[in-house]
Structure 1
């Protein structure tokens, strides 16, 4: 899928929002991709995740035994992408602020896995998920996401396969441009829940 095709899916679900948003990282942005507005439509989620699975294979990372995703945002794209890769999907959860595998989920030492996330801005959730899985001995061959908001700038420590890149400005709360400062901020993300 092209960048425009991916963004058109978001637009068709009223999921490409403009305003003043507090991102999970704490940074502020005039644009927010409300992926849950997309994921509430199974056919649209399938379209994006099938294309992501195809891109994962095309880039040489399809030979994995599991998809691991960070909760909460990565659960649906992780599951749907795993379905198209033909492997199980599991997810990490925060326990006292640190990602862990729970619910009888496990990875084996040396097992090849891929991390699948919804949207990458700074890469923090993916890095924390990678740390969790690597600490258990698994081999994280790559990570993947629907949208890379950093346009390749986020360093996650493994190759990142993005269905598309969509560079959106992000600002520290004390360095807002006047037009953003004039709008009350909204925090639509899930980190901290």
Structure 2
């Protein structure tokens, strides 16, 4: 799947948004990729996961024993990657602020894991998820994501394979350009936004 085809999937599902967004990393952006929208169509999610799995080196694909993704954003693409790779998929979540396996999920000591995200911006949550997977006994052999927003700068500490790399600029609070500073930031996907209907 070419980059233009991937972006067409995002545009077709109204998942590529423009405005002023406060990202989960704490940085601001004029663009936001709402992966939940692009993944809500099961056929589209399957196409994207199949394309992402195909981008992984063959020898890596053959080593993967489990897929683990961070909740919430990584759950759907993680599940679809498990299907594409023919392995079980599970997720880590933060019930008390720190990622952990729950719901009866477990890993065998040394089990080889692919950590899968929807979007990587700084890599912070990915590294936190990797740490939780390794604390649970897994060995993370690579990371994968639908979108690398870091323009290749994110370091997960393991080989990283995104489906597409984008370079939408992001800004710290104190370096906002005037056009962003003039409008309030929206936290896309947040519960508060959903409750207010914004």
Could you tell me the TM-score, scaled by structure 2's length? 0.93
Q: Which residue of 1 aligns with 2:105?
A: 105
Quote the Cα distance in structure 2 between the aligned partners of 1:107 and 1:190: 30
5+ residue gaps, structure 2, are 193-198
Change (3 A) 1:72 1:191: farther
Equivalent pair of 1:73/1:190 in contact (CA under 8 Å): no
**Structure 2 residue 45 is matched with structure 1 residue 40:** no
Equivalent pair of 2:52/2:146 in contact (CA under 8 Å): yes
What SS does the aligned partner of 1:147 have?
Answer: strand
Q: Which residue of 2 aligns with 1:141?
A: 141
**Offset, 1:43:** 1.0
**Offset, 1:190:** 5.0
Quote the Cα distance in structure 2 between the aligned partners of 1:141 and 1:52: 16
Change (3 A) 1:124 1:190: farther
**Offset, 1:23:** 0.1
**Structure 2 residue 70 is matched with structure 1 residue 70:** yes
**Offset, 1:189:** 3.9
Higher relative contact order (CA 8 A, sep 6+): 1
Could you tell me the TM-score, scaled by structure 1's length? 0.95
Quote the Cα distance in structure 1 between the aligned partners of 2:191 and 2:113: 24
Provide the aligned C-alpha RMSD in A. Answer: 1.5
Q: Which residue of 2 aligns with 1:8?
A: 8
Is the helix fraction higher in 1 or 2?
2
Quote the Cα distance in structure 2 between the aligned partners of 1:190 and 1:57: 35
Map of 1:55-94 to 2, 5 A cutoff? Answer: 55-58=55-58, 60-62=59-61, 63-94=63-94
Quote the Cα distance in structure 2 between the aligned partners of 1:136 and 1:16: 35
**Offset, 1:136:** 2.1
Quote the Cα distance in structure 2 between the aligned partners of 1:137 and 1:75: 20
Change (3 A) 1:174 1:32: same
**Offset, 1:95:** 2.5
Q: Which residue of 2 aligns with 1:179?
A: 179
Quote the Cα distance in structure 2 between the aligned partners of 1:9 and 1:188: 19
- How many positions carry a matched residue from both structures? 191
